[in-house]
Structure 1
Amino acid sequence: MMDATIDYAAVFQGLPGMVALLTPDLVYADANEEFLRMSGRTREQVVGRFLFDVFPDNPNDPAATGMRNLETSLRRVIATGERDTMALQRYDVESAAGQWEERYWSPVNTPLLDPDGKVVLLVHRVEEVTELIRARGRSGGDRTRVLEAELYTRARELQELNERLRGAHAREREVALALQEAMLPTGRQSAGHQIAVRYRPAVGSLNVCGDWYDVVDLVGGNRIGVSVGDVVGHGLAAAGVMGQLRSALTATSRVADGPAQALDVLGRYAHVVDGAESATVVTTFVDFDNHTITYSSAGHPPPVLVHPDGRVEFLDRATDPPLDARPAPIPRPQAGLPFSPGATLALYTDGLIERRHEDIDRGLVRLADSLVRHRNTDPEALADAVLLELLPHGGATDDTALIIVRL
């Protein structure tokens, strides 16, 4: 038996519980026989169709939330890549005769991930507990029915409360994004150089506005400072801290002897800014006259330099702890290297490369590979290609900043 090939399709169809497979677009890819039997649907009515076209909420019950709750759970699984077990749901199923029958289901939604951590399918397993609820009602009499009705009412009230909270978080998200858009620089500030900047907010109402970037003209020669950073925390508070640190680094870079000194001063400033603790940042000074890059990092992922011939270098020889991480600050390290005209420099935040349950080195390899393959395109096209290839389908759970500089 151990040497025999297992027919997993037959196993799937023979599972004793209700199981369906959904695409990330929430279209049925397959459903086992028990799922079809218990739901009263044929395979033709299910496979290839959008979930909520097959199972809409009861239009005769304005308070019905079963499908809305299920969609929230499935979207959460797609965004996080983690399993979600739902509370008991009441859901009315429409029969072939057009009648709506009260049912109770207990769903569990599990992601299937590809090697890059991207959700490619969702396993939607359902325990049908309608008969159990009815049996309890018959054995316990009216009191059991009253308790069940009370529990269901409380569940609806909790759902409505959660929706109000999500609405408040959504409003905070909009304000934070508007604040960030006003504070972060645009391409107009990099006139004379080929620079592309991108910011992608996270999926979810809270995970937004910790990341930032900056491009500044430096005094003396054809030089610019390019930086990215990440503030611990989310929402309006993080956006405010981000703005303070970015503005401080902009001013400091213009007068500092080099990136290490700029981060030294920024670290002292972070010490007196609430919420700036453990923020990370990397800054590079690019000298186009001498064809050199000087850099220093405060706990941030390393920039990537792609040479015209495709050779890749990670700028990781001047890495120090995050801002305000030491009780007594000491001078930060600094390193430099030459570049050839036509090379590409990329700075980014960890949302671009980090994935749950995966070593960060895999993300760095993906980034380097994408940069090399698209290195002959202009920075705008290159930035779009990198985001398309590296960010998870449906969006990341952490915000992402990216700067591409053609040297």
Structure 2
Amino acid sequence: MNVQQVDYAAVFQALPGMVALLTPDLVYVDVNEDFARLAGRSRAELVGRYIFDAFPENPGDPAAAGMRETEASMLRVVATGERDTMALLRYDIEDSQRPGHWQEHYWSPVNAPVLGADDQVVLIVHRVEEVTSLIRARGGLAGTTKAARLEAELYTRSRELQEVNERLRKAHARERKVALALQAAMLPSPGPVGHHRAAVRYRPAVGGLNVCGDWYDLVGLPGDRMAVAVGDVVGHGLTAACVMGQLRSALSAATLVADGPAQALEVLGLYARSVEGAEASTVATTFIDWSTHTLTYSSAGHPPPALLTPGGDVVFLDRATDPPLGARPEHVSGPQATAAFREGATLVMYTDGLIERRTEDIDVGLARLADSLRRHGREDPEVLADALLADLLNTDRNTDDTALVVIRL
């Protein structure tokens, strides 16, 4: 039997364990046979109904919070597009044959997203393990003093764990918000680049604290020159944002007095050794000289800048690469190289979030970047920057932040 012949509706119904599908508005789309049987409701009684109309919370339990916790978990899935595993939960079900009579249930739920073509959540997969019998059996026969103590202890500990997890979620959300605000305040706008056009972009990672390690900078130099840099700090959250700010400022100052990009990175490497969390960061910097039509560049462990020629060829500037900052046991001068460019060429500098995938070699990502540049390279830098992000950011939800600079030379 090939894939086209598989009856997935029949597979869904036959799945062992309780599984339901809900819309992002928490309305049942379908339930499998085990869900209907163990929940004591027929499929017809559930499909098309709002989850908490079908399963209201037990009004006789003043400590009940199952409805609120389930709703919060599902809404997190809709907001983040990520799976959410809940702690052990007590959620009683009203007997459909005897209104006002409630049956005690313990559940272990997991909620997972189904993403549509636009990468938005279109369905929630709600899988539930019914563990009431297990909770009762662990202490002996139901109704005994020992069983009752065990049930109370397990339920109390699971509720405590759920509350701790919720506090951590809120703390992480606050830190993410502060880190993003700090990132936005420290990253400069491109400003005028003489008569040349430039575009910059920063995209934080989706979810969690995977933000604020990436940065860019543009520094005006004497004459018809400019320095462009991008960097990536190891780590995430507020700590990475603070380290990023220190490195960006230090490199900006070093660039103004250095003889070239290699010397600027050499100074930055020495400085990074005194900043906790800065070592192993990666940086690439390029000095643009429009009077001589040359790019002088140097890299410390960073993906190579890309140069798109007016004829549509893509050249990666990879002839001056050193290890990340502070990686060498002893200090040595770093390399630099020079490449010529013609008017109308495009320089693209970026961080690894744009090209890297966990399951791919980096050359695959570089080839993908080159292909996108060839297809969109004639566009204005603002349009080109958006096209590169649309083509290259990981469609299965990017887990790393991304900085991007595009300059028409």
Q: TM-score range by the shorter chain?
A: 0.7 to 0.9
Match of 2:291 in 1: 289
Q: Structure 1: how far apart are the matches of 2:307 and 2:326? A: 28
Q: How many residues align?
A: 399
What whole-Å deviation, never above 9, does each CA across 1:181-229 have from its counterpart, x for those lacking one? 2221113264543111111222335322211110111223x22111110
Give distance in 2, aligned partners of 1:310 and 1:141.
79
Contact kept? 2:88, 2:155, Cα under 8 Å: no
Cα offset for 1:292?
2.2
Q: Paired residue for 1:58?
A: 57
- The equivalent of 2:178 in structure 1 is 175
Deviation for aligned residue 1:324: 1.0
Aligned twin of 1:91:
91
Aligned partners of 1:210 and 1:239 also within 8 Å: yes
Q: 1:58 to 1:389 in 2, by over 3 A?
A: farther
1:117-156 correspondence to structure 2 within 5 Å: 124-133=126-135, 138-139=141-142, 141-156=144-159
Measure, in 2, the Cα distance between the counterparts of 1:52 and 1:305.
54
Q: Does 1:35 align with 2:30?
A: no
Change (3 A) 1:168 1:122: closer
Instruction: Indicate which of 363, 368, 390 corresponds to 2:392.
Output: 390
Q: By how many angstroms is 1:8 displaced? A: 4.7
In structure 2, the partner of 1:330 is 332
In the alignment, is the contact (CA less than 8 A) between 2:109 and 2:127 conserved in 1?
Answer: yes
Q: Evaluate the alpha carbon distance shift between residue 3 and residue 89 of structure 1 in structure 2; reply closer, same or farther with a 3 A threshold.
A: closer
Distance 1:405 1:26, change over 3 A: farther
Give the direction of change, closer, same or farther, for the CA distance of 1:125–1:270 in structure 2 (3 Å limit): same
Cα distance change on mapping 1:72 and 1:333 into 2, 3 Å: farther
Instruction: Give the one of 234, 238, 258 matched to 2:240.
Output: 238
Residue 110 of structure 1, CA deviation: 6.4
Displacement after TM superposition at 1:123 (Å): 5.5
Deviation at 1:112, TM superposition (A): 7.9
Deviation of 1:265 (Å): 1.5
For the pair 1:162 / 2:165, whether they are aligned, the reply is yes
**For residues 295 and 192 of structure 1, what CA distance do their matches in structure 2 show?**
22
C-alpha distance in structure 2 between counterparts of 1:406 and 1:44, whole Å:
62
Moved more, 88-97 or 315-324: 88-97
Change (3 A) 1:257 1:23: farther
Which residue of 1 is the match for residue 345 of structure 2?
343
Equivalent residues in 2 for 1:173-212 (5 A)? 173-188=176-191, 190=193, 192-212=195-215
Aligned to 1:187, the other structure's residue is in SS state coil
Q: 1:36 to 1:365 in 2, by over 3 A?
A: farther
Q: How far apart in 1 are the matches of 2:250 and 2:400? A: 24
Q: TM-score, normalised by structure 2?
A: 0.82
The equivalent of 2:378 in structure 1 is 376
Deviation at 1:12, TM superposition (A): 3.4
Q: Distance in 1 between matches of 2:20 and 2:149?
A: 33
Q: Which residue of 2 aligns with 1:215?
A: 218
Q: 1:107 aligns with which of 106, 109, 119?
A: 109
Root-mean-square deviation over aligned CA pairs = 3.8
Q: Distance in 2 between matches of 1:66 and 1:150?
A: 19
**Cα 1:266–1:35 shift into 2, 3 Å:** same
310-319 or 242-251, which moves further after superposition? 310-319
Post-superposition offset of 1:147: 2.1
> Deviation of residue 396 (structure 1)?
2.6
**Given residue 311 of structure 1, which amino acid in structure 2 is its aligned partner?**
D
User: In structure 2, how many angstroms separate the alpha carbons of the residues matched to 1:55 and 1:187?
Assistant: 54
Larger Rg over CA atoms:
2
Structure 1 residues 156 and 328, CA gap change in structure 2 (3 angstroms): same
User: Any idea what SS the aligned residue of 2:108 has?
Assistant: strand
Contact 1:36/1:43 (<8 A) preserved: no
- Where do 5+ consecutive residues of structure 2 fail to align? none
5+ residue gaps, structure 1, are: none
Return the letter of the residue paired with 1:291.
H
State the 1:393 CA deviation. 5.3
Q: Which amino acid aligns with 1:35?
A: F
Q: Counterpart of 1:296 in 2: which secondary structure?
A: strand
Deviation at 1:124, TM superposition (A): 4.6
For the residue of structure 1 that corresponds to 2:151, the secondary structure is helix
Q: Distance between the aligned counterparts of 1:125 and 1:206, measured in 2?
A: 27
- CA 95–374 in structure 1, closer or farther in 2 if over 3 Å, else same: farther
Between stretches 64-73 and 144-153, larger displacement belongs to: 64-73
SS at match of 1:336: strand
Q: Answer whether contact 1:189 1:215 (CA < 8 A) is retained.
A: no
Identical aligned residues as a percent: 63
- Partner of 1:225, secondary structure, is strand
Q: Is 1:354 equivalent to 2:359 in the alignment?
A: no
How far is 1:56 from its partner?
7.3
**Which amino acid in 2 is paired with 1:88?**
L
Distance 1:314 1:325, change over 3 A: same
